[in-house]
């Protein structure tokens, strides 16, 4: 595919951050964007709602449908998928972007915190994928992209925050399994993860705000997702893809434009990337 004109993307957690940037990148081609997130009203600390992103998508050249969706609620997910199909005629790509993070070890993790991460990260990815699959099968180039990491079992990634790691690795396992489950249906499933930390609210509030100056902007993930989405779904599937790697493979060489701080010379590597 040369572009995403007329294609419909269903993006979870798209009211801000990486999900928003993926939406805006696809909108430049004239894509239809379903902005599926919980944020339908302004947050006191976090910018963006499903409605503000919908306005940005339309201004960028795309069509938008803003839907309040909690990925923990199967009925809401199914209803949102039906509304997307009714509005745009189908679904060509699902972006499993919604995620929860809590970087504590087992001893310091409350059960409710783990349950939240599991219900959004693992269960939410499964439910959204299941609901999208019947529609993706009808697309001529169906894609699932899950924002989850490579399965790095080096010991230093297992000791610090294994409750979170379990849920993110589960997202990856689900996606790699879907690639095989759907291979004969022509639907691709790939994981996408950043090489460096990305300047998002997750880094600012859940990790360390001092890392923002050592991070790249969400645009790099949007450009990487775009390269996946325009790929032939029968040729690129079942991979855990790093943003910088696929962009280099596709001929991109200037990564300075993605620096959150133009003066930064010491980018911070993201979790699970050695």
The alpha-helical segments, DSSP class H, found in 122-233 are 124-136, 162-181, 201, 219-229
Query: In whole angstroms, what is the distance from residue 11 CA to residue 9 CA?
Result: 6
Which residue is catalytic, options 164, 169, 226, 258?
164
Let me know: does 11 contact 19? Beta carbons within 8 Å: yes
Let me know: does 176 contact 144? Beta carbons within 8 Å: no
Query: In whole angstroms, what is the distance from residue 213 CA to residue 202 CA?
Result: 14
Let me know: does 50 contact 67? Beta carbons within 8 Å: yes
Let me know: does 85 contact 132? Beta carbons within 8 Å: no
Q: Which two tokens stand for residue 210?
A: 């001092």
Residues in Cβ contact with 130 at an 8 Å cutoff, skipping those fewer than 6 apart? none
**Paired residues of 95 in beta bridges:** 11, 145
Known catalytic residue: 226? no
Task: Please give the positions annotated as active site.
Answer: 164
């Amino acid at each position: 595919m040369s572009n995403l004109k007329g294609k419909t993307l269903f993006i979870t957690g798209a009211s801000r951050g990486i999900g928003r940037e993926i939406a805006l990148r696809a909108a430049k081609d004239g894509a239809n964007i379903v902005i599926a997130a919980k944020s339908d009203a302004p947050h006191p600390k976090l910018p963006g709602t499903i409605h503000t992103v919908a306005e940005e998508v339309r201004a960028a050249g795309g069509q938008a449908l803003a839907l309040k969706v909690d990925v923990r609620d199967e009925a809401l997910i199914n209803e949102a998928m039906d509304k997307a199909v009714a509005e745009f005629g189908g679904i060509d790509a699902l972006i499993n972007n919604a995620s929860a993070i809590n970087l504590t070890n087992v001893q310091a993790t409350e059960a409710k915190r783990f349950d939240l991460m599991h219900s959004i990260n693992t269960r939410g990815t499964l439910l959204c994928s299941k609901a999208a699959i019947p529609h993706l099968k009808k697309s001529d180039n169906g894609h699932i992209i899950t924002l989850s990491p490579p399965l790095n079992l080096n010991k230093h990634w297992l000791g610090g925050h294994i409750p979170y790691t379990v849920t993110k690795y589960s997202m990856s396992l689900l996606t790699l399994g879907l690639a095989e489950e759907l291979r004969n249906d022509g639907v691709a499933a790939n994981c996408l993860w950043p090489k460096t930390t990305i300047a998002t609210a997750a880094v600012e509030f859940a990790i360390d705000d001092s890392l923002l100056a050592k991070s790249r902007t969400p645009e790099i993930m949007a450009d990487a997702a775009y390269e996946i989405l325009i790929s032939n779904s029968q040729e690129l599937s079942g991979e855990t893809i790093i943003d910088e790697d696929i962009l280099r493979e596709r001929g991109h060489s200037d990564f300075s434009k993605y620096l959150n701080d133009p003066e930064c010379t010491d980018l911070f590597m993201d979790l699970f990337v050695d």
